[in-house]
């Protein structure tokens, strides 16, 4: 989540009125560390792009919707491998591996054993050679967002994972509970706690492997009563919430005394966001202690700052060599600008605390104005005075936290996970926004793993003149490119990277951008193949306009000198991006009150079949068209759901044809995310057919066969050979990921997919028939539980039928007794929604417990799903 270094070609610009930002520059010698620090108030929404588009206009992402979509996507993949002619097509990882992405958790086996890391949206990886090479081990299981990892101290082959990144960043989905592997990551089983949504830490009692503690942070997008500290006494079979503060406060860290494990500490964190505000601080924050293995808890206060609106996230660490010494890294709330509030230490087991960092210490400034993004603190195993703190920079103190040295060095900034080798304290491992780093000198220097394909792309493309040259922009890792290597090169903007474009007549001309359309400067232009330091900003764009976090721009397929760029209005360049001028009025709803909708243009397109036809789409659900090169614009939003517009794709041969994709979710209904128009948007027809209810991010029309469509969704790439009448997953080999961008190189028949968590992938389409429609799929029955699960009052589910059938959907209790019928009779082909209100056939409230939903459809067979009803 970096902000850019000042670009030499940019003049100072007023920051857009999306958030109140105070830029505090600092010097850095390494381009990956160079950034501006941002001071944010409680209304700051700068990094909310991923969340905002998926929550609009509901204000939240409905719980369980993504879990249900993942489940359906796995069923679709299994079916496609057997019933379609694309099952043998295999995606190839194109990288980058060397750039990395956000690592949120580490778990390391002793004595040179395996290392595991969890990524924000990339799942879990394992290394058996000290972090040189990595293998994904969680792709077939739960959510790819990981918040915590832990090993059983008595059996390092037992690995625990908590799904759902617990940082207050919002570019990852909620998780789906705790998982365990008993074979060092080969296979995993769910242990429940899906309702916690985000998990900050997992700790296993070293004296009793059946006692497990889980820090539940709750949903990122709303208050909920499932936050708090959970404990299992039977190895995860059952859980008890042993500490609860309120529905806005969860637990983000746990520390257990290694000598007296009945003494446990935890840190609570008040963190919630709504449609109109966000906060990551408050009186719910604090440090708690239990002296009876978590049965009862006492909030500690002596010497600590008061629990008020100035207290934010807290990280905890116990000194292994002196367990009565505990460190607490405490960050601030809004009035102090989200920086470090202080490093506190107790030397009497938590009874009393003293602030250790002195005036002038670098500790408070290490967080860069967004302390809610960090929290890890670690103590050397053999010296209680040596302590590390993770923030925007990694700091080390040799005097118990009184003074600090910045040891970030050549490592990527924004550190989230840290491990110190008990056998060799100079051996330190670290996970950051740039991947995995190792030091053998206590942090004095770092070596980066060049095998971490977890880059979180926002956009990607292929050079039209070179199918091997892939480009893209990613979270905290700049715009970048490769000419065929698995290792990529950065443009070195020192920022988040977004849309990249290559001139289709001259590949030396390359465009890139960083946040908010390069903070209103517009697409930066290089005439030297995108080499670092070769970019210049255009003229003519008003920095006072509103620009999306990922501002769109496109080049006319018929004239490389014509480019469109979007703010709240459309800008056009007639000189290959050297300068721009506005050609439209405000094409949004001009909503300045919502934090989730910025009223900015998010999609632009120029028709290849009629280059005078332009389209724009916005984050507040508006679609406009122009038939006269932008001289006049027509609102063509009618007939579309009010959702964030992610892409507009004109038909390559039909000047009247255009496709639109939408983000967001349905609430109770199944929402369509893909529409087609044959009259330039005057009317729209859904072509979602059997697709999951999940955001669609891009759509391509195959120029070799315009009935063939390729669709990027948050659960991978789907294709249709009949214009959207029926969809199925395309190819195999790529993990289930949010695919944010697709590019097809027609000559090479190479399709590139940019993911927001697992780098980029390519697929050779030469083996895909282009003139023959896909065969009709066989009869299929697919039951998918929707949300929520576990549930209290109602659980929703969907049933897919590929042809009409007589269907019975019934609920049974754990011992097989019939409880209720949800459907019993003939149903047509398609998707059908059902809900169970938790009552039996007589209308009485069914008791809490485990239930099973069984769908039976004649010769189709049956499917069964497990659900849990809670009080």
Phi-psi region of 342 (alpha: psi -120 to 50; beta: other; left: phi over 0): left
Query: In the listed set 767, 793, 810, which residue is the last one of a domain according to the structure?
Result: 767
Give the position of tokens 């010494």. 325
Residue 362's nearest CA partner among 389, 334, 330, 400 is 389
Same domain, 813 and 729: no
786 lies in the same domain as 668: no
Residues 791, 731 within the same domain: no
| Overall number of domains in the chain | 2
Which residues touch 251 (CB under 8 Å, ≥6 apart)? 200, 201, 215, 216, 217, 227, 228, 229, 243, 266, 267, 268, 269
Residue 586 lies in a domain: yes
pLDDT digits (tens, 9 = 90+) for 319-351: 999 999 999 999 998 778 888 999 999 999 999
Q: Is the pLDDT of residue 82 over 70?
A: no
| pTM as predicted | 0.88
**Angle at alpha carbon of residue 868, lines to 867 and 871, rounded to 5°:** 150
Q: Kindly report the average pLDDT of the chain as a whole number.
A: 89
**Residue 39 pLDDT:** 27
The answer to whether 117 and 103 are in contact (CB under 8 A) is: yes
More confident residue, 427 or 829: 427
CA dihedral sign of residues 185, 188, 191, 195: positive
Assign residue 845 the CATH number of its domain.
2.60.40.4070
Q: How far apart are CA 266 and CA 287, in angstroms?
A: 6
What is the side-by-side order of every strand in the sheet holding 199-204?
A: 199-204, 212-216, 228-232, 240-243
Determine the pLDDT at residue 869: 84
Helix, strand, or coil (residue 65): helix
How much of the chain exceeds pLDDT 90, in percent?
72
Lowest-confidence pick of 34-38, 121-125, 790-794: 34-38
* Cα–Cα distance measured from residue 311 to residue 333, given in angstroms and rounded to the nearest whole number: 5
Q: How confident is the model at residue 595 (pLDDT cuts 50, 70, 90)?
A: low
pLDDT digits (tens, 9 = 90+) for 830-858: 778 888 999 998 889 998 888 888 888 86
The predicted pLDDT at position 37 comes to: 30
Does the N-terminal peptide bond of residue 80 adopt cis geometry, omega within 30 degrees of 0? Answer: no
Query: Residue 771: which pLDDT band, with cuts at 50, 70 and 90?
Result: low
Interval 132-150: pLDDT, tens: 999 999 999 989 999 999 9
> Do 585 and 689 lie in a common domain?
yes
Q: Are residues 806 and 750 in the same domain?
A: no
Same domain, residue pair 693 and 826? no
Are 757 and 785 found together in one domain?
no
CATH for 523: 2.130.10.10
Strand pairing partners for 253?
Answer: 267
Check pLDDT > 60 for residue 18: no
- Contacts (Cβ under 8 Å, ≥6 apart) of 264: 203, 213, 254, 255, 256, 257, 289, 290, 293, 294
Q: Name beta bridge partners: 830.
A: 801
The whole-angstrom distance between residue 86's C-alpha and the CA centroid of its chain comes to 28
The kind and range of the H/E element at 418 are strand 415-420
Q: Using the predicted structure, report yes or no on whether residue 530 has a pLDDT greater than 90.
A: yes
The share of the chain scoring above pLDDT 70, in percent, equals 90
Residue 587 in domain: yes
Do 626 and 708 sit in the same domain of this protein? yes
Last residue of a domain, one of 722, 745, 767: 767
What distances in angstroms separate CA 828 from CA 673, 799, 805, 807, one per listed residue? 22, 11, 7, 10
Which of 406, 450, 414, 454 lies closest to 430, judged by CA?
414
| Tokens (6 digits) for 377 | 């603190």
| Same domain for 559 and 484 | yes
Instruction: Write down the pLDDT at residue 21.
Output: 28
CB 130 within 8 A of CB 440: no
Distance CA 80, CA 513 (A): 38
Shared-domain flag, residues 813 and 703: no
Single out the residue in 767, 793, 816 at which a domain terminates. 767
The answer to whether position 251 is within a domain reads: no
| pLDDT band of 380, cuts 50, 70, 90 | very high
Angle at 250 between CA 248 and CA 251, to 5 degrees: 160
Q: Which phi and psi (to 5°) does residue 55 adopt?
A: -90, -25
Cβ proximity of 419 and 317 under 8 Å = no
Place of tokens 């927001």: 756
Q: Decide which of 185 and 795 is more confident.
A: 185
List the 264-270 sheet strands across, edge first: 249-256, 264-270, 286-290, 298-300
Mean pLDDT lowest for which of 66-70, 241-245, 329-333? Answer: 66-70
Residue ranges with strand state E in 326-463: 326-332, 340-346, 354-355, 377-379, 387-390, 394-397, 405-406, 415-420, 428-432, 435-439, 447-448, 457-463
The answer to whether residue 379 sits within a structural domain is: no
685 located within any domain: yes
Question: Cα–Cα distance between 413 and 111 in angstroms, integer?
Answer: 28
pLDDT in tens, 420-475: 999 999 999 999 999 999 999 999 999 999 999 999 999 999 999 999 999 999 99
Both structure tokens of 166: 């617990």
In a domain, 495, yes or no: yes
Is 799 in the same domain as 753? no
pLDDT score, position 19: 31
Rounded to whole angstroms, how far apart are CA atoms 259 and 207? Answer: 9
Do the beta carbons of residue 784 and residue 670 sit within 8 Å?
no
Q: Token digits for 729? A: 């997953």
pLDDT at 46 over 50: no
Q: What is the dihedral of CA 473, 476, 477, 480, to 10 degrees?
A: 20
Q: What per-residue string of b and e applies to 186-201 under the rule 16 or more CB within 10 Å gives b? A: eebebbbbbbbbbbbb
Q: Residue 867 — pLDDT band, cuts 50, 70, 90?
A: confident
pLDDT higher than 80, residue 770: no
Count of Cβ atoms closer than 10 Å to residue 527 Cβ: 15
Nearest CA among 387, 370, 403, 405 for reference residue 322? 387
At 393, list the tokens: 């920079």
User: Among the listed ranges 90-94, 173-177, 424-428, which one has the minimum average pLDDT value?
Assistant: 173-177
Under the banding of pLDDT at 50, 70 and 90, the label for residue 360 is confident
Is 798 inside any structural domain? yes
Which pLDDT does position 138 carry in this prediction? 97
pLDDT at 571 over 50: yes
Q: How confident is the model over 544-567, as pLDDT tens digits? A: 999 999 999 999 999 999 999 999
pLDDT band at 32 (very low <50, low <70, confident <90, very high): very low
Cβ atoms of 649 and 706 within 8 Å: the answer is no
Residue 16: what pLDDT? 29
Nearest CA to 452 out of 841, 106, 830, 171 is that of 106
List 230's β-bridge partners, or say none. Answer: 214, 241
Residues 584 and 701 in one domain: yes
Beta-carbon count within 10 A of 814 CB: 10
Q: What is the pLDDT of residue 668?
A: 67
Q: Which H helix or E strand runs over 795?
A: strand 795-801
Report residue 777's pLDDT band, with 50, 70 and 90 as the boundaries.
low
HEC string for 262-330? CCEEEEEEECEECCCCEECCCCCCEEEEECCCCCCCEEECCCCCCCCCCEEEEEEEECCCCCCCEEEEE
Residue 698 lies in a domain: yes
Rg of the chain over all Cα atoms, to the nearest angstrom:
27
> Whose CA is closest to 194, among 267, 145, 131?
145
Return phi, psi of residue 51, to 5°.
Answer: -70, -45
The domain in which residue 814 lies consists of 779-869
């Amino acid at each position: 989540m970096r902000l850019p270094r000042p670009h030499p070609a940019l003049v100072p610009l007023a920051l857009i009125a999306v958030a109140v930002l105070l830029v505090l520059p600092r010097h850095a010698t390494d381009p990956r560390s160079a950034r501006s620090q941002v001071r944010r108030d409680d209304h700051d929404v700068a990094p909310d792009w991923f969340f905002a588009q998926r929550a609009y206009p509901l204000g939240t992402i409905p719980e369980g919707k993504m879990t249900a979509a993942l489940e359906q996507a796995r069923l679709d993949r299994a079916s496609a491998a057997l019933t379609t002619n694309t099952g043998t097509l295999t995606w190839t990882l194109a990288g980058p591996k060397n750039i990395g992405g956000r690592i949120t958790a580490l778990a390391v086996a002793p004595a040179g054993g395996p290392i595991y890391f969890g990524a924000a949206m990339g799942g879990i990886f394992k290394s058996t050679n000290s972090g040189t090479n990595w293998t994904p081990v969680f792709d077939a299981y739960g959510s790819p967002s990981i918040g915590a990892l832990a090993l059983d101290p008595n059996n390092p082959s037992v690995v625990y994972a908590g799904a759902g990144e617990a940082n207050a960043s919002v570019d990852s989905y909620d998780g789906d509970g705790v998982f365990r592997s008993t074979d060092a990551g080969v296979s995993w089983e769910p242990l429940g706690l899906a309702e916690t949504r985000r998990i900050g830490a997992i700790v296993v009692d070293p004296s009793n492997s059946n006692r497990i503690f889980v820090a539940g942070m709750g949903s990122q997008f709303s208050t909920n009563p499932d936050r708090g500290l959970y404990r299992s006494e039977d190895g995860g079979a059952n859980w008890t919430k042993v500490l609860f503060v309120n529905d806005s406060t969860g637990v983000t860290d746990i520390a257990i005394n290694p000598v007296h494990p009945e003494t446990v500490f935890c840190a609570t964190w008040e963190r919630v966001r709504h449609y109109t505000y966000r906060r990551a601080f408050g009186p719910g924050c604090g440090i708690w202690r239990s002296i009876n293995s978590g049965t009862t808890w006492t909030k500690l206060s002596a010497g600590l700052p008061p629990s008020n609106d100035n207290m934010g996230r807290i990280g905890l660490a116990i000194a292994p060599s002196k367990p009565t010494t505990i460190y607490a890294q405490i960050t601030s709330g809004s009035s102090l600008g989200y920086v470090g509030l202080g490093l506190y230490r107790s030397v009497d087991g938590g009874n009393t605390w003293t602030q250790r960092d002195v005036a002038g210490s670098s500790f408070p400034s290490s967080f860069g104005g967004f302390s809610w993004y960090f929290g890890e603190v670690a103590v050397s195993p053999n010296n209680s005075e040596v302590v590390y703190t993770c923030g925007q920079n990694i700091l080390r103190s040799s005097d118990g936290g009184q003074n600090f040295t910045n040891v970030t060095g050549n490592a990527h900034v924004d550190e989230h996970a840290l491990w110190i080798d008990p056998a060799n304290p100079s051996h330190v491992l670290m996970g950051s926004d740039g991947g995995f780093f190792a030091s053998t000198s206590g942090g004095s220097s770092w070596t980066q793993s060049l095998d971490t394909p977890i880059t979180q792309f926002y956009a990607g493309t292929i050079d039209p003149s070179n199918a091997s040259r892939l480009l893209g922009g990613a979270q905290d890792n700049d715009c970048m490119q490769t000419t065929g290597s698995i290792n990529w090169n950065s443009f070195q903007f020192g920022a988040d990277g977004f849309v990249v474009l290559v001139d289709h007549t001259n590949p030396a001309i390359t465009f890139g951008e960083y946040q908010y359309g390069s903070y209103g400067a517009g697409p930066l232009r290089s005439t030297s193949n995108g080499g670092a330091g070769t970019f210049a900003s255009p003229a003519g764009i008003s920095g006072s306009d509103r620009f999306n976090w990922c501002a769109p721009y496109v080049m006319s397929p018929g004239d490389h000198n014509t480019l469109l760029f979007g703010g709240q209005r459309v800008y056009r360049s007639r000189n290959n991006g050297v300068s721009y001028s506005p050609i439209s009025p405000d094409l949004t709803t001009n909503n300045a009150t919502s934090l989730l909708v910025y009223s900015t243009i998010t999609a632009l397109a120029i028709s290849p079949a009629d280059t005078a036809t332009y389209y724009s789409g916005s984050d507040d659900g508006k679609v406009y068209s122009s038939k006269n090169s932008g001289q006049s614009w027509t609102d063509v939003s009618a007939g579309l759901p009010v959702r964030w517009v992610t892409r507009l794709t004109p038909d390559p041969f039909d000047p009247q044809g255009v496709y639109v994709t939408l983000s967001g979710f349905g609430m109770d209904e199944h929402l369509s995310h893909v529409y087609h128009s044959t009259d330039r948007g005057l009317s729209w027809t859904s072509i979602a057919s059997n697709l999951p209810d999940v955001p669609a991010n891009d759509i391509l029309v195959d120029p070799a066969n315009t009935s063939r469509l390729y669709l990027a969704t948050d659960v991978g790439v789907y294709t249709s050979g009949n214009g959207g009448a029926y969809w199925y997953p395309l190819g195999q080999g790529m993990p289930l990921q949010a695919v944010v961008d697709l590019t097809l190189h027609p000559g090479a028949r190479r399709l590139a997919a940019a993911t927001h968590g697992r780098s980029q992938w390519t697929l050779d389409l030469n083996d895909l028939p282009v003139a023959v429609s896909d065969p009709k799929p066989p009869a299929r029955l697919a039951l998918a539980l929707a949300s929520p699960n576990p549930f209290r009052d109602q659980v929703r589910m969907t049933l897919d039928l590929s042809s009409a059938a007589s269907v019975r959907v019934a609920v049974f209790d754990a011992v097989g007794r019939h409880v209720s019928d949800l459907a019993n009779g003939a149903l047509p082909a398609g998707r059908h929604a059902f809900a169970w209100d938790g009552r039996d056939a007589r209308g009485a409230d069914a008791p809490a417990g485990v239930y099973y939903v069984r769908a039976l459809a004649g010769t189709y067979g049956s499917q069964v799903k497990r659900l849990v009803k809670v009080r």
